Amino acid sequence: MSGSQQSGDGPRTTPPQAPAGPRARDLGIRIGRHATGPANAITDVRGVRVGHATIIRGEGPLVVGEGPVRTGVTVVAPHDGNIFLEPVFAGWHSLNGNGEVTGTAWLDEVGLLSGPIAITNTHSVGVVHDAIIEYAIRSHPPGTGFWSLPVVGETYDGTLNDINGFHVRREHLAEALESATSGPVAEGSVGGGTGMICHEFKGGIGTSSRVLPEEEGGWVVGVLVQANYGVRSDLRIDGVPVGAHLGVAEVPSPYGTRHPGGPGTPGSGSIIVVVATDAPLLPHQCRRVAQRASLGLARAGGYGRNSSGDMFVAFATGNRDLPDVSDTERLGAHTAAVRMVLDDRMNGIFTATVDATEEAIVNALLAAGTMTGANGVTAHGLDAGRVARIMEAHGRRPGTDGSPPSSGGGRR
C-alpha cells in the first residue's frame, strides 16, 4: 500500500502518532447519491497511483535547520505507463491564488500533463520541482532531447514544522514516486499532509471516489486533497455544522499558542485538490471539472479566504497514446485522434467531483490524529466519536438518510 514512509537524517524521535481514524463512511456519512469505487480513493481511476514520503523527526523548541520536522511529499501518478513519455489531458483552476502550483501556464497553453503531480510544503516546491526533472531525465533514452515543466503544489506547514529548515530533499521525491501504488491510499498525517492543519484540527491528505451509473457514462472520478485551510466554526460535514459544536474550549486550537515564523491565525492556510477521471475529456473540460472542486470545498466550509491558496488540478485518462511534445516523429503526422464527452453529458462528472472533494476533506480530518510539532504546538485530531454524536443529534444516524449502501466505506 502507498503508506507513510518515515525518512530523513537520523532516527525518528517523536512519539508514535495515533493510528488513523475511521473514514466518513465508517460513521454512516454518505455524501451525495453515487456509489464509491472499491478503495473510495483517487486510485479507483484505473492506473492512477499515489505515493508518500513522510518526514517526522524531533520535538521541543524550534531550531531552524534541525527541527522539529513534520513534513513530506505526496505524488499522484496519472497512469501506469511511463508518465514522462505518455501525457494526458489536464486543466486547472485557482479559487484564490495565495499559493503555488508550478507548470500551470503550460497546462493553460497545451493542456497536457507530462509527469506526476506532487504536493509538498511551501518552501520545498523548488527542490521537488528539480527532483521531478532529475527523475524524468532517467526515464528518457540516453541522448533524447528533453525539457520539463513539472506540476508541483504546496500548502504551508510552518505552524508544526521547521519549514525554513528545508528538510524535503530530492531523495524524498524519488521515494514517493517509487512507493506509488494503486489500491488503498494512506490518509491524514502522511506525505505532503504531514504538518498540515484544517479547520483548526489536524489536517492532511484525504481521498474519495465516485462511480457514475451507466446512464451517466459509467466513468470513475477520484479526488485527492491536501487540506490545510479553514476556520473551526465554518466546518460542515454533509450539511451539519460540526465545527460550531466543537469550540476551542472543548478542543483547543493550534493557533492558541503563537510561535515565531507561523501565521498564527485560523483560516490562513490553503488546499490543493487533484481530480482524476477515466472519462475522455479535452483540456477545457478538465478545467471545468477542476472548477467544481471549489463547490466541494465550499460545502465543507472553505470560503476562499484572502490568505488561503485554493488551487485545483484535474486530469483525464480517457485519451491515451497522445504524442509527447518532444516526440517529433509522431508529431510529423500532424494529427492525433481523440474523443470527448459531450458537454451536456458532463453533469454527472461535475456532481461526482463536488461530492468526492467534500468527502476527501472529511476523510483527511478523521484520519489525521493528533500531532504535536515545533515549540510544543498541538493540532488535535477530529474525534470520530464526537462527530458521530453531532451527526446523530442532527438526525444523521447511519441507515436513516435514505442513501443506498455503497462500496469503499471500510478501513484502509
Section 365-385 average pLDDT: 97
* Catalytic residue of the set 182, 209, 253, 308: 308
User: Does the annotation count 308 as an active-site position?
Assistant: yes
Section 202-212 average pLDDT: 98
User: Does the annotation count 270 as an active-site position?
Assistant: yes
Q: Could you tell me the pTM of the whole model?
A: 0.92
User: Does the annotation count 162 as an active-site position?
Assistant: no
Average pLDDT, the chain: 90
- Would you say residue 117 lies in a domain? yes
Burial of 252 (0-12, 13-18, 19+ CB in 10 A): middle
Section 330-340 average pLDDT: 82
What is the model's pLDDT at position 383? 97
What is the model's pLDDT at position 12? 36
- Would you say residue 402 lies in a domain? no
Q: Specify the number of domains making up the chain.
A: 1
What is the model's pLDDT at position 398? 64
Place of cell 503563537: 258
Q: Picking from 192-196, 275-279, 329-333, 390-394, which range would have the lowest pLDDT averaged per residue?
A: 329-333
- Would you say residue 214 lies in a domain? yes
Three-class secondary structure of residue 207 per DSSP: strand
- CATH number of the domain where residue 369 is located: 3.60.70.12
- Would you say residue 101 lies in a domain? yes
Per-residue pLDDT band at 403 (split at 50, 70, 90): very low
* Catalytic residue of the set 270, 278, 294, 355: 270
- Would you say residue 83 lies in a domain? yes
- 70 in Cβ contact with 373 (< 8 Å): yes
- Would you say residue 130 lies in a domain? yes
Q: What is the pLDDT of residues 122-145, one digit of tens each?
A: 999 999 999 999 999 988 778 777
Section 192-202 average pLDDT: 98
Q: Picking from 6-15, 134-143, 151-160, 200-209, which range would have the lowest pLDDT averaged per residue?
A: 6-15
Q: What is the pLDDT of residues 226-278, one digit of tens each?
A: 999 999 999 999 999 999 999 999 999 999 855 444 456 887 889 999 999 99
Percent of the chain at pLDDT > 70 equals 88
* Catalytic residue of the set 157, 162, 238, 310: 310
Domain enclosing residue 203, as ranges: 24-393
- 278 in Cβ contact with 46 (< 8 Å): yes
C-alpha cell at 393: 443529534
> In this structure, which amino acid lies at residue 8?
G
C-alpha cell at 123: 518552501
Section 100-129 average pLDDT: 97
Residue 405 scores a pLDDT above 80? no
- Would you say residue 263 lies in a domain? yes
Distance CA 120, CA 324 (A): 26
Half-sphere exposure of 382 (CA within 13 A, CB side): 35
Section 68-88 average pLDDT: 96
What is the model's pLDDT at position 143? 76
- Would you say residue 113 lies in a domain? yes
Q: Picking from 97-101, 295-299, 336-340, 396-400, which range would have the lowest pLDDT averaged per residue?
A: 396-400
- 289 in Cβ contact with 356 (< 8 Å): no
CA Rg value for the chain: 20
What is the model's pLDDT at position 392? 95
What is the model's pLDDT at position 257? 55
In whole angstroms, what separates CA 317 from the centre of its chain?
18
Residue 362 scores a pLDDT above 60? yes
Section 313-336 average pLDDT: 81
In whole angstroms, what separates CA 233 from the centre of its chain?
23
φ, ψ of residue 199 in degrees (nearest 5): 55, 35
